[in-house]
Structure 1
Amino acid sequence: MKLSHTPVDTIVMFNRHIFVKRDDLLHPEFSGNKARKFAYFLEHEFPGVTKLIGYGSPQANSLYSMSALAKLKGWSLDFYVDHIASHIKLKPSGNYGAALANGANIISLDSLDDRGDRDTHTYIQEVVLPNETHAIFVPEGGRCEYAEFGVSKLAEEIAQWAKDSGLEHLVVFLPSGTGTTALYLNKYYVEQEINIQVLTCAAVGGSSYLIQQFTQLADNPLYHPEIVALPKKYHFGKLYPEFYEMWKTISLTGIAFELLYDPLGWMTLEHHLSLSQGDVPILYLHQGGLLGNETMLPRYIRKYGA
């Protein structure tokens, strides 16, 4: 089960060479950033634990990876979602279908009588966890202190590759959901005094939301990566023709990228490069998540054609 030390490829984008850290080549069940975020759970024993509890979208990459983790550990998984669209229930596919196949118990809050006006996180904290004495709770997207263990190893891999490649300076770029990976990467480089800068963009909720996520994990702003924003605001999960066009363009490199985060990531990187001076080497962190294309690509095709 390959969970570390992925290769770095070089592609040409925006009329320059860009390195790509191929974390999409990690083991499919823990592809990309989930392999890094869940490394602590994979490498440690948890006596007495029988259940994993999480929450998020019914098509979240974390749902599938948590189902694989629970299956590997011999735990059950209760994964809470706000609601499940009828077409997903009728034809399970992508992360949702794969998680069900792994035995995940996916619980929709809109079917529970005791939900009240609680959001998913609050419901778990107030109703679920007080009655679970043998469970581990992982917040949405793996945003927790446990993630630092694996992300720090990723940061070390990148630093060693840069050193071996003779790069005195490097910019690492990645799109962020909760910002966990970007935060812990940058924290490692700051603490180790390594000349690597982490740039990211907010795929969910905007820059102010992302700063809040950073602060919950590390209140020292020196650890926070730089956020790059596009002039236009995009809503998470909405289909945009420019996303589809960027995805088709980056697919021409021969590397498969996912459709939810990567198009915004590459558009933001292009915007950043158009404004920046100099020619500092750029490494784009491919965070996997390709299973989500099973549901995203048909949506794009229906809306914009093949």
Structure 2
Amino acid sequence: MIATDFTFCDSAVEPFRWRGLDFFVKRDDLIDPRFSGNKLRKLYTLFKIDAEHIERVVSFGGAQSNAMLSIAYLSAMKGWRFDYYVKKLPSWLEKEPAGNLKRALELGMKLHQLTPEGFYESIEKIRQKSSQKDLFIPQGGADPAAREGVHMLASGILEWAEREGVERFCVATPSGTGTTALYLREALPKRITVVTTPVVGDEKTLQSQWQKLQPKPASYPETLFSFGKHPFAKPHPEFLKIWKSLKSSGIEFDLIYAPKMWYELEKAYERLPKPILYVHSGGVSGNTSQLQHYAFRGIE
């Protein structure tokens, strides 16, 4: 039985020194252990929906998605059915679910596997057949409904800046769908620089995601892309090295999104406005399965 209580409170900001460089980290990962950082921000609007207005939640994405697990928690709290669609699982994971997938299934999520060919076409057909009692959540929570929660994040950042007496600074967050970075750019004054890096695809992929959410924005976040394109969630020795270094410096970050963003911040540090505030987007619950992935590939 999952606890149904939830009280939203803003996260603290902590100083963080890494490889001789000074940063601040907004600890969104510590707001609630059930919801992963920016996923909580994206889902905030849904917490206010009366449970009886929805019968079923439908979403799709990766089998170890942090958004998937957060939606599973939310659905369990609200008493909603949760149908989640993934591409065909590898046999070992289907036989013995692990990580976020295991926990989401324990929370009552119903998993559906689809063939990779025509996956997104199949998802669109499922969306079109949704009833009025169904709530369809796009992959990673990339939806205009995320705006309110991310704007609350921006308000918390501005309150911190006022307390610190800082006017011009840099806010950094990695991008999957780019939703958090986009709505932070929208909500924060232009004097504040917002930077991100695409972890899924490349700069064009990220731009296309932003255009779907907000076709005519005042401006988009600045994109850092010196590392280049890298297959999503594919183990890389440099990422593991950065992750271990960050952890030894005092904070555990997620192993999929964070290392690439920190790589870019180190490269661009001298030219970025100071201080640099990194928004910790949570997702550390997926580290166990990702570390297994690294070990399987002989990267340790």
User: Partner amino acid for 1:29?
Assistant: R
Q: Residues 302 and 231 (structure 1 numbering): CA distance in 2 closer, same or farther, change over 3 Å?
A: closer
> Which of 256, 276, 289 is residue 295 of structure 1 equivalent to?
289
* C-alpha contact 1:241 1:304 (8 A) present in aligned 2: no
Shift of residue 90, structure 1, vs aligned partner:
1.8
Structure 1 residue 262 and structure 2 residue 258: aligned? yes
What is the TM-score when the length of structure 2 is the normalising length? 0.93
Distance 2:185 2:126 in 1: 35
* Alpha-carbon spacing, 1:137–1:267, altered in 2? closer, same or farther (3 Å): same
Q: CA–CA distance in 2 between the matches of 1:33 and 1:131?
A: 26
Deviations 1:199-228 (A, max 9, x none): 000000101100111111111242311111
Number of residue pairs the alignment of both structures matches:
295
**Structure 1 residue 11: deviation in Å?**
1.2
Match of 2:212 among 209, 216, 240: 216
Rate the CA distance shift 1:166–1:75 in 2: closer, same or farther, 3 A.
same
1:196 pairs with 186, 189, 192, which one? 192
Decide which of 260, 274, 278 is 1:280's aligned counterpart. 274
Residue from 28, 36, 39 that aligns with 1:23: 28
Give the CA deviation at 1:102. Answer: 0.4
User: 1:136 Cα shift?
Assistant: 0.6
Structure 2 partner of 1:76: 81
- How far is 1:132 from its partner? 2.8
1:68-217 map, 5 Å: 68-110=73-115, 117-120=117-120, 122-127=121-126, 129-189=128-188, 193=189, 195-217=191-213
Q: CA deviation at 1:167?
A: 0.5
SS at match of 1:17: strand
Structure 2 unaligned spans of 5+: 1-5
Shift of 1:31: 1.9
1:109 shift after superposition: 0.9
Q: Which runs of 4+ in 1 moved over 6 A?
A: none
Secondary structure (helix, strand or coil) at the match of 1:222 reads coil
For 2:284 and 2:264, the matched residues in 1 are separated by 20
**Structure 1 counterpart of 2:9, from 4, 8, 24:** 4
Query: Distance in 2 between the 1:155 and 1:131 partners?
Result: 33
Greater shift, 23-32 or 147-156, is seen at 23-32
Name the SS for the 2:123 alignment partner.
Answer: helix
Q: In structure 1, what is the Cα distance between the partners aligned to 2:35 and 2:154? A: 18
Residue type at the aligned position of 1:226 = E
Say whether residues 1:45 and 2:50 are aligned partners.
yes
Q: Does the aligned pair in 1 maintain the 2:51–2:78 contact within 8 Å?
A: no
Code of the residue aligned with 1:118 in structure 2: it is G
Aligned CA distance change for structure 1 residues 231 and 16 (closer, same or farther; 3 Å)? closer
TM-score by length of 1: 0.91
Offset at residue 231 of structure 1 (A): 4.5
Of stretches 47-56 and 282-291 in structure 1, the one that deviates more from structure 2 is: 47-56
Matched residue type, 1:211: Q
- Answer whether contact 1:61 1:95 (CA < 8 A) is retained: yes
The letter of the residue matching 1:139 is P
The Cα of 1:57 is off from its aligned counterpart by 0.5
**Residue segments in structure 1 that go unaligned for 5+ positions in a row:** none
